[in-house]
A and B are shown apart, each in its own frame.
Chain A
Amino acid sequence: MDEKRRNFLKVAGISTLAGLGGTAVVDRLVAGSGIAHASGSAGHEVEAAKKSSGHGAAPDPSVNRYGMVIDIKKFQQDPSLGEKIVAACHSVHNVPQFPEKKDEIKWIWMTQFENAFPEKPNVYLDEATEKHQLPILCNHCDSPPCVRACPTKATFRNKDGIVMMDYHRCIGCRFCMAACPYGSRSFNWRDPAEFVKDANHIYPRRMRGVVEKCNFCDERVGAGKLPACVEACGESKALVFGNLNDPNSEIRKVLKENHTIQRNPSLGTLPSVFYIV
């Protein structure tokens, strides 16, 4: 009896050791030799460090990253422009107009400077900035926190760098709304169907219980057109849309010629929407 117990304890001890050490050994074997494994992970870190330095990785011209430059001065000169672009966007995308403010759905909207740039407070704000509003919309960040938060991948970053939504997958958990530092997302608390006036019959609307936001007019850009808001600006060039990764694009020219700012860049989300103040 005693000897049996002694044997049992030996076997149990050896199996425990094998169990604890075994996975590590198998991992090593699978990943090749231990040294190769170590150098591999070190290389990865260097790569990651390079990527996070400055404003993201060096632009890769073979990949699109769409962005927008908003000239706030043009919106101050022509105060009607703001209404025009909001109306254009919301009618193209069947954005519902709810009577109550708390249900409001916004893709692009006009706001005060201090609301758009809370990290740039200024007691002695100039008159034009104080008096006029500027447009804000989804920033289509290069490193979007909403995409990381989404549990169903309903929100994703597409091949053109547009942060967009697959409403079929949205379960309405609103994690993305909590994750977005710019408040660019709205939730459909009510069924929007009856609040869409003069529906655009080539674009769907949304249903109750999903989050929605600006999609940088992916459906128009994909068809070779400009976003609806950019088109509504006409020749004024108040909004300039283009591929940030293409060094010869118009948007890059505008960015080179003007000093631009982004909304809350310190968060490291790398917004693709730039403002000329």
Chain B
Amino acid sequence: MYDSGKIIPGLIIFVLFITIPIWYNRGAAGSVPKPVLPKDAKTCVLPAAEIRAEHMKLLNTWRDEVLRTGDRGTFEIEGKPYQKSLMMTCMKCHTSKKQFCDTCHVYASVKPYCWDCHIAPVE
């Protein structure tokens, strides 16, 4: 190979450069987030696995039903009626946005725009 003295170090530098994110963050992987669950409520509107994966879709469904269809019907959990509402249902149990919503959203670098308009509970 001609110019192997230049090409091989060049290739090594190139590989090191494009893998910067991997070795720069090595060992710094954040621990899995542990959102603080409400103490007094035991059941959510959906089973834990489902609500974890689908809560954004559920919120969109609620929004469309309440706002566009005008269907404000309540649903019951353990005999208590609840409204389809982020501020009036979700945040009544999950009273801390910082300790619940933000833990996972920050970890996953998701930036939902809910809180541009919706008001988080006072902490």
List residues of A whose CB falls within 8 A of some B CB: 94, 156, 158-160, 164, 166-168, 193, 199, 201-207, 218, 222-223
Contacts and interface: CB of A to CB of B under 8 A. Distances in A.
Given A222-B72, A223-B72, A204 B117 contact: yes
The size class of the interface chain B forms with chain A is 10 to 19
Interface in B81-123: 87-88, 113, 116-119, 121-122
Given A204-B119, A207-B116, A160 B70 contact: yes
Interface of B: 63, 66-70, 72, 87-88, 113, 116-119, 121-122
Given A201-B87, A202-B88, A204-B87, A167 B68 contact: no
B68 A156 contact: yes
Nearest to B60: A168
Contacts of B63: 166, 168
Contacts of B68: 156, 158, 166
A207 B88 contact: no
Interface of A is mostly: loop
B70 A167 contact: no
A222 B121 CA distance: 24
A233 to B, nearest CB: 25
A164 B68 CA distance: 9
Contacts of B113: 207
A218 B63 CA distance: 14
What 5 pairs across the A-B complex have the smallest Cβ distances?
Answer: A207-B116, A204-B117, A204-B118, A222-B72, A159-B70
